[in-house]
Amino acid sequence: MSQAPDHAPTMQRLNLVQRITPFVPALLVPLIALLGLLFIPSGSSWLTLTVSGLAMGMMIFIMAAGLTLIFGLMDVINFGHGAFISVGAFVGVTVLLLVPGMTAAPSVGLNLVAVGLAVIAAMLATGVMGVVFERVIVRPVYGAHLKQILITVGGLIVIEQLIHVFWGPDEIFLTRPETLKGAITFAGAALEKYRLLAVGVGLVVFLAMRHVLRHTKLGLIVRAGVENGEMVQALGYDIKRVFVLVFVAGSALAGLGGVMWALYQEVITAHMGGQMLILVFIVIIIGGLGSVEGCFIGALMVGLLQNYTAFLVPKLALVSNIGLMMLILMWRPQGMIPVVKAK
Is residue 73 within 8 Å of 222, Cβ to Cβ?
Answer: yes
Q: Using CB under 8 A, which of the segments 5-13, 88-96, 137-145, 166-174 binds another protein? A: 5-13
What 3-state class would DSSP assign to 190?
A: strand
CB of 73 to another protein, least distance (A): 13
Bridge partners, residue 267, by sequence: 173
Q: Which residue, 28 or 242, has its beta carbon nearer to another protein? A: 242
CA 231 from chain center: how many Å?
28
Q: Using CB under 8 A, which of the segments 157-165, 247-255, 323-331, 334-342 binds another protein? A: 334-342
CB of 204 to another protein, least distance (A): 24
- Please tell me whether residue 340 binds another protein under the rule CB under 8 A: yes
CB of 225 to another protein, least distance (A): 9
Buried b (16+ CB within 10 A) or exposed e, 13-38: eeeeeeeeeeeebbebbeebbeebee
CA angle 163, 138, 119 (to 5 degrees): 45
Q: Which residue, 256 or 337, has its beta carbon nearer to another protein? A: 337
Bridge partners, residue 90, by sequence: none
Bridge partners, residue 172, by sequence: 268
Residue 91: how many other CB atoms lie within 10 Å: 27
- Please tell me whether residue 211 binds another protein under the rule CB under 8 A: no
In whole angstroms, what is the distance from residue 70 CA to residue 251 CA?
10
Find the binding residues for another protein in span 212-231 (CB under 8 A): 217, 220-221, 223-224, 227-228, 230-231
- Please tell me whether residue 2 binds another protein under the rule CB under 8 A: yes
Q: Which amino acid is at 278?
A: I
Residue count, binding to another protein (CB under 8 A): 30
What 3-state class would DSSP assign to 90?
A: helix
Q: Which residue, 4 or 17, has its beta carbon nearer to another protein? A: 4
In whole angstroms, what is the distance from residue 147 CA to residue 141 CA?
6
Show the binding pattern over residues 162-191: x = contacts another protein (CB under 8 A), - = does not: ------------------------------
Show the binding pattern over residues 228-267: x = contacts another protein (CB under 8 A), - = does not: x-xxxxxxxxxx----------------------------
CB of 292 to another protein, least distance (A): 12
Is residue 62 within 8 Å of 232, Cβ to Cβ?
Answer: no
Binding site for another protein (CB under 8 A): 1-9, 217, 220-221, 223-224, 227-228, 230-239, 339-340, 342-343
